[in-house]
Amino acid sequence: MAGPTLRDVAKRANVSIRTVSNVVNGYAPVSDELRARVQAVLDELDYRPNLIARNLKQGRTGMIALVVPELDVPYFAELAREVITAARAHGYVVMVDQTDGDGDRERELLGRESRATMFDGLLLSPLTISAEELRARGNRIPIVLLGEHIFNGSFHHVAIDNVAAAREATTHLLDLGRRRVAAIGDQPYTTGETAQLRTAGYRQAHARAGLEVNEDLVVSTSRFHRRLGAEAMEHLLTLPEPPDAVFCYNDLLALGAIRVLTRAGRRIPDDVAVVGMDDIEEGQYSTPSLTTIAPDKREIARQAVNTLMDAINGTPGTHSEITVPHRLIIRESTAG
């Protein structure tokens, strides 16, 4: 049985079909009293807009794409969930794909002509692609960038302040009286901008405390995976003066480090305090639970989707650099 139509709602509310359409779509100003009357009838009749018909009429697909480096990294899985929720509020469906952090894969996904007809917009968390390459793609579909890749205001971009976040994490360890604070996750190469920003924050915290960084305590990793965090921690424990605290550039690295510390008989946080970043759910239930920097993933998703919707709808405006808040969550790995 077909559901109620705009005509049915208009008849019951004693208004024109155009007025009901304006309320449903938010197209034109409607008085609060009239909007409330129409909304009451919409609720009473349980009206559901025909999104497919609406999108076809507007020349849209009703779908957006979210492209991230690795879906098996919990941060991106949790972010994808928030993006799907935020997009649903706009009547959009999200298709999720991954690049595996591979530059050729990023370019291939970005360059597909089919994307211009399959999706109305794209949310992309890039690792390797440059601003020049993005500009060369033209304006096939609107795009909003996620993450810490630096684009200097050339595109809509949503991220946290990684320098400030890393500085806060390191300062927390220094404030505990730790003086051999290691850093796991530096990536001193072209595609390692996120890591480089976190290293900058780590160094700033030492400088503000009047301390020099022991370069032996800064360990690079090719990715932010558990295994690499474990390997980095094993290396640090072989040093003549091992660290008494570790700042890991994401929670997975920290969980790998905690595993090695526990196996080596080091007490956490008594012997070695540990801080991660991302606030993935796994860190709440690890032993010990993990102190972490928590980016507001829900706000990242909301801002990114809203910005993309504005671009899809042709709302004028310059490219926006949106910085989303973060906070330090203190748990057992530093508080005992």
Task: Enumerate the domain spans of the chain.
Answer: 6-49, 57-160+297-324, 162-295+328-335
**Lowest-confidence range among 88-102, 149-163, 219-233, 263-277?**
149-163
User: What amino acid occupies position 25?
Assistant: N
pLDDT of residue 146: 93
What CATH class has 6-49?
Answer: mainly alpha
- pLDDT score recorded for residue 17: 81
- For the whole model, what pTM was predicted? 0.81
Q: Over 90: is that where the pLDDT of 296 sits?
A: yes
pLDDT at 1 over 70: no
Identify the architecture of domain 162-295+328-335 in CATH.
3-Layer(aba) Sandwich (3.40)
Residues 71-96: tens digit of each pLDDT:
989 999 999 999 999 998 888 999 99
Matching fold, domains 57-160+297-324 and 162-295+328-335: yes
Identify the CA nearest to 23 among candidates 44, 46, 42.
42
Q: What is the pLDDT of residues 130-148, one digit of tens each?
A: 777 777 766 678 899 998 7
* Domain 57-160+297-324 listed as CATH 3.40.50.2300: yes
